[in-house]
Amino acid sequence: MTRGQVERPRATIPDPAEQPTLSAEEAFRLLGCGRTSGYEMIRRDEFPVPVLHLGRVIRIPTAPLLELLGLRPGTGCSDSDPPRPPAGVA
């Protein structure tokens, strides 16, 4: 990391059974797109996963987002990453 850069925390997608939907901003962060472009994609009906419009609230279903990204729930790791042993196990 160079001087002046802010380190962003790694995003973890929750288990769909525990958190079935995400806020639009959480989904944008996981997809690596900005807030303005994310809402513009939703407005134009071009967002890559289903979008739930609940009154003025927008929610993104977690399971389709996981499938799009090829990630396992709660880990932030892709299915092709090998499992890591528990801490303290060699």
| pLDDT score for 23 | 95
Output phi, psi for 47, to 5 deg.
-65, 140
Of 70, 77, 71, 42, nearest in space to 58 by CA: 42
Q: What is the pTM of this model?
A: 0.68
Is 63 contained in some domain? yes
| pLDDT score for 11 | 65
pLDDT digits (tens, 9 = 90+) for 19-72: 999 999 999 999 999 999 999 999 999 999 999 999 999 999 999 999 999 886
Q: How many structural domains is the chain composed of?
A: 1
Is the confidence at residue 7, as pLDDT, over 70? no
Is 1 contained in some domain? no
Is 9 contained in some domain? no
Cα–chain center distance at 89: 30
26 or 83: which leads in pLDDT: 26
Calpha distance 10→39 (Å, rounded): 22
Burial of 29 (0-12, 13-18, 19+ CB in 10 A): middle
The pLDDT confidence band at residue 17, using thresholds 50, 70 and 90, is confident
Calpha distance 3→8 (Å, rounded): 14
Is 80 contained in some domain? no
